[in-house]
Amino acid sequence: MSRIPKDELERLKRKVSVAELARMRGVELTAVGSELRGSCPFHDDSTPSFFVQESTNVWNCRGACDAGGSVVDFVMRSEGIAFRHAMEWLLGYEKGEVTPSKTAPVKTSTARKLASPFDPGSNEQALLNRYAAFCHEVFKRTPAAQGYLEKRGLQSAEMVEKFQIGFVDRSLGLRLPTSQRVEGKHLRDQLQQLGVLRETGHEHLVGCITFPIVDGHGNVQQIYGRRIGNLTTDQPRHFYLPGEQRGVWNEAALKGSGGLVILCEAIIDALTFWCAGFHNVTSAAGVNGFSDEHLEAFRRHGVEHVLIAFDGDEAGDTGARRVAERLSGAGIGAHRVQFPKGMDANEYARKIRPVSRALRMALAGANHLAGPEIDLTLRIELPVTTETAAPLATPAMTSEVGETSSPTATAPVVENLAEHVVVGDEVTLPIGDRQWRVRGLLKNNSADVLRVNVMVTLGAKFHVDNLDLYSSRGRKAFVVDAGDQLRVGGEALTADVGTVLRTLEQLQMARLKEEAKPKVTVPVMTAEERDAAMALLKDEALCERILRDFSKCGLVGEETNKLTAYLGCVTRKMAHPLAILVQSGSGSGKTTLMDAVLAFMPEEEREKYSAMTERALYYVGEEELSHKILGVVEEEGAERASYALKLLQSEGELMIASTAKDPQTGQLSTKSYRVKGPVMIFVTTTRSEQDEEFVNRCLVLTVDESREQTRAIHGVQREKRTVDGLFADLSLIHI
């Protein structure tokens, strides 16, 4: 049985109230100090000995039972069920599917506490449909199953719903009547006939993500299961329900395919195309899984050409040729989609950007195998979709849950480039009827160097050489040699080389700029942390809580200034953030106020400087300050940058044109630099007279320098030196 996620277990222990369950069983609870007390429901209790701690949501019997624990232990004892059954019971209780038993507790119950997903008297087709739907519900509450698809780059909620993707965690057995009961034995026999259950009573597809294969009426014909987790090399990963292989996955898409269909080796590969916007896709059941039913479906829906996107290995090539022969015999054209050696469609898609365009190029470049031939470059168009709909490209390539290969470097997305595909350290550019392939770009770590290995092919002819693209002599020699090999004019090849150079140069500049950015790890909130944060934001006493937290951290008084500065910093997320100027004399505490407020803000969303040069802000990264806090201690240190600060506050961005030397020609040229906002500006100053234009853009705060404030500060400082103050400081360490 699959392991219960620890986070889910802890959530249920916190969320489901023991006191509520006890009351529903008829236990009357009364407050006794910090606890609730009542008669124990597990034994004859003349003197109340059952206690509940609401703050920790635990119970214990101080009488004959001498037992206790969490809400899970309470359910196990009160319902007479095992741990896993209790977990499923609690999940059902949250949804309102089950209620606590009113009868006396039993040591072990044979009656199921959870409702069966099947209707009594259902036929086999109805049972199979309901089983697929039950697995779908299990998938939606199983993080491990969802995480597996995410690691395969398949993160589309639409995909999960459309194809009813499921997961088998062996919780079905907890909902079926026991085999000792007549109805239970009959139902289990039916499920065994379908192959859902084995003779042992266990589910056949346990530990698998499930992909139902349905017919035109929405009835499940077969279920494919992909086993996830850490498996040994001899353990199978691919499963089907026993019996005949029936159905065509995603057959509905064949109707509107326009006569052109993509055929993959596996469903996960097919989903890769689907998530990238190519919905005219189906799947065989492996390299030898193209069936008569597939062929008949192609004929029935008027399919004229099939792009066979099997894995890029020997088995895939052999399987593709076998399928092509059968298609050709039916008058259907067949083309072979080529992937790098050893790659399947899913791995290829996870290593390239942008995904849709790269897959389109792979499809358009498919080789003709048999049957009628067409110009694929005219038939394959970029789908109307966005790359964010299915983020297939990931920094770390993963093949299985718990199995991670080394990260594959990919160039950042750069606009206005020639059509190209990046796979690891290889860039491919189709130019006219010629194909250019470049390797070694990642070895260049300077903007002044562009030495690569270049190959250009035209049909069966090719030329390959190592080339310094910034060398005029090297480019000319390459063009001459390539022209001799390919029998192409020098003018066309020279233009090609120029296109390749400009494309590689922009890719390299984008990569170097990306690598130069400071790597900041942004913490990811758990569901519980997010719920707690939302509860805090909705608290009517939020402002009072913020002020109390400032006081706990030692910031005395300044109630208005603390809250105003805090809220000002929060506006960094808005389209037009506020600017704060704290003005006071030396030693009055303005820097302490700034430091305290900034400490409450995420580290990755604030920048703090003591001084700034005139043009310092113009040369930070384009996105480096966007929606962040820019703190300047002592405005005098940033006096020369005041003009840039004012523009950044009022315009929301900075633009500067500067001259630079072209590395190829040595001529001076104009380059533009841009810094995007908006930015929340937080400045302190001791000067009484300020630039009016800057002050007009700020909220000006004045620090409290009264005697009462000074006495309060001294009082806190003295208290910190007492025993109680030292213990208070120690307790803050654990907050």
Structure token pair of residue 38: 């009542």
Is 51 within 8 Å of 45 (Cβ atoms)?
no
Distance CA 323, CA 306 (A): 10
What confidence score (pLDDT) does residue 406 get? 37
For the question of whether the overall pTM of this predicted structure is more than 0.85, the answer is no
SS3 sequence, 243-312?
A: CCCCCCCCCHHHHCCCCEEEEECCHHHHHHHHHCCCCCEEECCCCCCCCHHHHHHHHHCCCCEEEEECCC
Pairing of strands 238-240, 220-227: antiparallel
Is 718 within 8 Å of 668 (Cβ atoms)?
no
DSSP class of residue 197 equals: B
**Which regions of 20-76 does DSSP assign to beta strands (E)?**
30-32, 35-38, 50-53, 58-61, 68-69
What confidence score (pLDDT) does residue 301 get? 92
Q: Which residues does the chain have with pLDDT short of 50?
A: 1-2, 385-391, 393-415, 734-735
pLDDT tens figures, 224-280: 999 987 666 667 888 999 888 889 999 988 987 888 999 999 999 999 999 999 999
What confidence score (pLDDT) does residue 324 get? 94
Distance CA 624, CA 361 (A): 34
Distance CA 295, CA 282 (A): 12
Per-domain residue ranges for the chain?
A: 6-94, 124-240, 252-396, 421-516, 549-704
Greatest CA separation for the chain: 104
Pairing of strands 220-227, 451-458: unpaired
DSSP class of residue 195 equals: T
Distance CA 393, CA 376 (A): 25
Amino acid in the structure at residue 373: E
143-151 helix and 124-140 helix, angle to the nearest 10 degrees: 80
What confidence score (pLDDT) does residue 668 get? 66
252-396 belongs to which CATH class? alpha beta
pLDDT tens figures, 297-314: 999 999 999 999 999 999
Residue 684: how many other CB atoms lie within 10 Å: 24
Q: Which fold has domain 6-94?
A: DNA Primase; Chain A (3.90.580)
Amino acid in the structure at residue 374: I
Q: Which CATH number fits domain 549-704: 3.40.50.300, 3.40.50.1440, 2.160.10.10, 3.30.450.40?
A: 3.40.50.300
Q: In what order do the strands lie in the sheet with 166-167?
A: 166-167, 208-214, 220-227, 238-240
DSSP class of residue 336 equals: E
Is 267 within 8 Å of 261 (Cβ atoms)?
no
Instruction: Please provide the size of the chain in residues.
Output: 735
User: In the beta sheet, which residues pair with residue 606?
Assistant: 629
Among candidates 655, 639, 652, 654, which has minimal Cα distance to 697?
A: 652
Q: Which CATH number fits domain 124-240: 3.90.980.10, 3.30.2090.10, 3.20.20.120, 3.30.70.2190?
A: 3.90.980.10
Phi–psi pair at 50, nearest 5 degrees: -100, 120
Is 273 within 8 Å of 363 (Cβ atoms)?
no
Among candidates 592, 680, 583, which has minimal Cα distance to 636?
A: 583
